[in-house]
Amino acid sequence: MEVTIKELLESGVYFGHPTRQYDPRIKKYLYGKRQGIYIIDIEKTLQKIQEAGEFLKKSAASKKTILFVGTKRHAQQTIKESAEKCGMPYVNYRWIGGTLTNFHQIRTRIDRLEEIEELEKSGKLSLYTKKEVAIILKEKDNLIKKFGGIRSVTKFPDVIVVVDVRKEINLIREAKKVDCTLVGIVDTNSNPELVDYPIPANDDGLKSIALILNKLSESIIEGKTEAMQTPDAADVAEKIESIEENKNIPVKKEEIVKEKIEEDVKKSGKETVNEG
């Protein structure tokens, strides 16, 4: 993953909020203020994107699950595209309380979605009345919005990438209860200490969000590619063990010849020739 100052400038990642919307804990990431708007230090943004990218790359190489979360309207499509690009789950409609701390209950809703899809696939939906079908399909659409991006998840995510830590505060509180590592885009009105890997940047501009998520997604792809090229440790250990076992089996040349002769003799219907 490569990112340049030029890309960051062109995407407007340095634009913060008006000075009246300010969290003092973001101060170390600021360059200054212009016309009543805080300006983020773009070099620090670059550094933090690289740090977060390296962490995500290692996480992906270790086959960890990374969840993308961003529910503000203009970020929803970008969240979906970035997560799908690197093959990771996402939440982009609304964060449902208990998604992390009560995942068993959330899983029942995903099961319901799959049940409805099976009704459609099998044609059994035609057995219902038009009104019932309308209600069921409306339920399906609602379930897809809420849980479609996490339907493949079977366990807690190991890492969460979040857009706008201020808006997703409920998610962050929940993630801390289950020890998820957090990577987050943090604007000038937010607290960078809420996440493990803060990225100081404009969390309202679509170009800014898209650039950062795209770069993080690339890092995840690099990590997954690296994992595919590296032999699994368990497989390597098994092969080494197999080789070591074979080394301990003495195989003499004369024994192989004798077995071959006896096999040929049996096939010809003759008795085995006695040794000597």
What's the mean pLDDT in 91-105? 90
Domain residue extents for the chain: 5-100+156-229, 102-151, 233-268
What is the rounded distance in angstroms from the CA atom of residue 79 to the CA atom of residue 89?
Answer: 10
For residue 85, pLDDT over 90 is answered with: yes
For residue range 199-240, list pLDDT tens digits in order: 999 999 999 999 999 999 999 999 999 888 866 555 545 554
Burial 175-212 (b: 16+ CB within 10 A, else e): beeeebbbbbbbbbbbbbebbbbbbbbbbbbeebbbbb
Confidence of residue 156 (pLDDT cuts 50, 70, 90): confident
Cβ neighbourhood burial of 216 (10 Å; 0-12, 13-18, 19+)? buried
Is the confidence at residue 248, as pLDDT, over 90? no
Q: Residue 154's pLDDT is what?
A: 80
Q: What is the CATH code for 102-151?
A: 1.10.287
Instruction: Name the 3-class secondary structure at 82.
Output: helix
C-alpha span between 163 and 185 (Å, rounded): 5
pTM for this prediction = 0.79
The yes or no reply on domain 5-100+156-229 and CATH 3.40.50.12240 is no
d(C-alpha 138, C-alpha 147), whole Å? 14
pLDDT at residue 235, rounded to an integer: 55
CB atoms within 10 A of CB 125: 17
**Residue 155's pLDDT band (boundaries 50, 70, 90)?**
confident
Give the pLDDT of residue 269: 52
pLDDT of 267 above 70? no
Q: What's the whole-number mean pLDDT along residues 115-143? A: 93
Residue with structure tokens 């962490």?
55
Find all residues with CB under 8 Å of 252, minimum gap 6, and list them: none
Can you read off the two tokens belonging to residue 165?
């830590």
